Chain A
Amino acid sequence: MDPRAFEDLVFALVRAEHPSAIQLRPPDAGRDTIVPAAGDRRERAWQAKHHTSGIKWSDCEASLKTAVESRDPEEVTFVFPLDLTEGKEEGLKELRGLYAEDKVRVADPWFAATLRETLLANPDIREAHIDRVLSLGEGYAHEMFRRDASLSERWSQQTAAALEGPLAAYGQQERLQDAEQAVDDGDHARASVLYEQIADALTELTPGIADAMALLAARAAAEAGDRPRAGGLYLRVSRSAAARGDSLAEYAAFRASWLLEERERWRSQAATARAAWPELPDGSIEQLIEAFERCLAKGDGDGIAEWADAACEALAAQGDWGRVADIAGRAAEALGPVTEQGPRLEIELERRDALAETGGEFQDAYRQLTLAPVGRSAHGPRIHARWAAALARTGRGPEAAERFRVAADGWQARGGAEDEIAEAVLSEDVVARQYGAGRRLGQPEVVAVSELRGRDITPTVLADRRETAGCGPGLRTAVTRHAAR
């Protein structure tokens, strides 16, 4: 967004609150948007300062002086596209000290956080000034409008969860109080059931908090002496946390190993291996395969899906596509057709990627999957993106670019997952650079696309979190510096 577009955005936001607001163009005497004097109120002014690399108070001071000398406003509000940092507070104090408050009042500036909040309250302005600038298109805007009610509700819930606490926002506060009371009364069995009910209610909405509740349920079950139940609950947490790449997976698996009976302990060992393979592939992967073979021998469908999925992920990371093909193939045969997302779908996708990586024909297999009910569901765009990545890996540039575009369109129609649109667009750019096919982005477009953020917890969000956890800014700098030497 350039300075002019930023001024337009500020004007739109001011006018939403003050319909009499008018926008001025240079020379504007230090004001971009004003609400004219009316009744006993003097003119009020908003100055959009498109400072992107830190607030320049000297520039604000010059604008304030010009405004006071030329138009004598009652109040001036400065608007910045970034947040105030600790070292910059002094500049605001000094600015306010320039004039007595009855001469001109320097209102609390609007920072990035204020803008975000105001944009949330004004979706039409966001659509016109942010989304359209990013070329998200009329169709997308229409689709967003259609879904607005449900998305707004979810957004409000997430905001309320942050402000009031998630359990109150999701209507679980009373049950939590009952569970805590049961703990105080020494009725740990009842507490465990109540905590688990809360976890069940929150699994889809906020899996991290659901896991925290399931941990409390497990602890209460252990207190009640119900070790199998406690072990099972810890395994549930480990499974759920592993799906998000959360380090809680290893802790929960470790706790389970203390509680499960000897004959069931392989489950906790496999869960530990699932959490540990990225750091310790040797040994962990064999343990995952052993868990898969054990479930296959027993005909345990859920176990086959769970451990084949985990083993394939770890083997793929090692580049052992031969074994991925073998395990995914046998698991698929035992489990039957894919009917829903989850481990079963992951296995199918790994099977197709294994075909691609080992020089087999994978296109028909991917095509069939996109035509199946699961391919036409909300998970369709991810299947197209996987297909596209396989096409790119096998040197089919034009087809890959086209497929990434199908994935981006799918995410766009689904809504709430702008991060995934960004990843698909950036991936098409990679293909364009490598193969000369598809849309190539310029630097400003790369920045705009990279900043797209949606409302859902998408794989991009999870990956970013794990990347941040695994490679802090300091480490990244050190690596880059080392590489440059």
Chain B
Amino acid sequence: MTVSWSIHRRAGHLAGALRLAEDLQRLFAAAEDPEQELVWALRTGFAQTARKAAGAVAWPDVLARLRPDGPP
């Protein structure tokens, strides 16, 4: 599925990439992997989910995922 997301991203498919990112976020939530859940929640723009996932991840790992200079 990451490959599928990557193909969508590289093809400029905003809708396809968001749909896959959402699936992956749910998948990692179900697998109880908050670090990866955080990554995909940030990509989907799910702020609440990202906040919740970040609570279960060590701060340095959260920091590594954040880009203050990046797009909103």
Contacts and interface: CB of A to CB of B under 8 A. Distances in A.
Contacts of A356: 71
B65 interface: yes
User: Interface majority SS on B: helix, strand, loop or mixed?
Assistant: helix
Given A356-B71, A357-B71, A430-B18, A317 B5 contact: yes
Contacts of B67: 319, 321, 357-358
Contact of A395 (B6, B9, B10, B72): B72
A33 B71 CA distance: 58
11 contacts: A317-B2, A321-B70, A357-B71, A388-B14, A394-B72, A407-B12, A426-B15, A429-B15, A460-B11, A463-B16, A470-B4
B16 A392 contact: no
Interface string A422-453: 01101101110000000000000000000000
B50 to A, nearest CB: 13
A34 interface: no
A430 B22 CA distance: 14
Contact of A479 (B8, B15, B27): B27
Contacts of B27: 471, 475, 479
A396 to B, nearest CB: 9
Report, as a range, how many residues of chain B touch the other chain: 20 to 34
A319 B65 contact: yes
Contact of A427 (B14, B39, B71): B14
A389 B7 contact: no
Contacts of A245: 3-4, 6-7
B1 interface: yes
B65 A431 contact: no
Interface stretch (A92-100, A285-293, A379-387): A379-387
A357 B42 CA distance: 13
Interface in A329-384: 346, 349, 356-359, 382-384
Interface string B30-69: 1000000001001100000000000000000000010101
B4 to A, nearest CB: 4
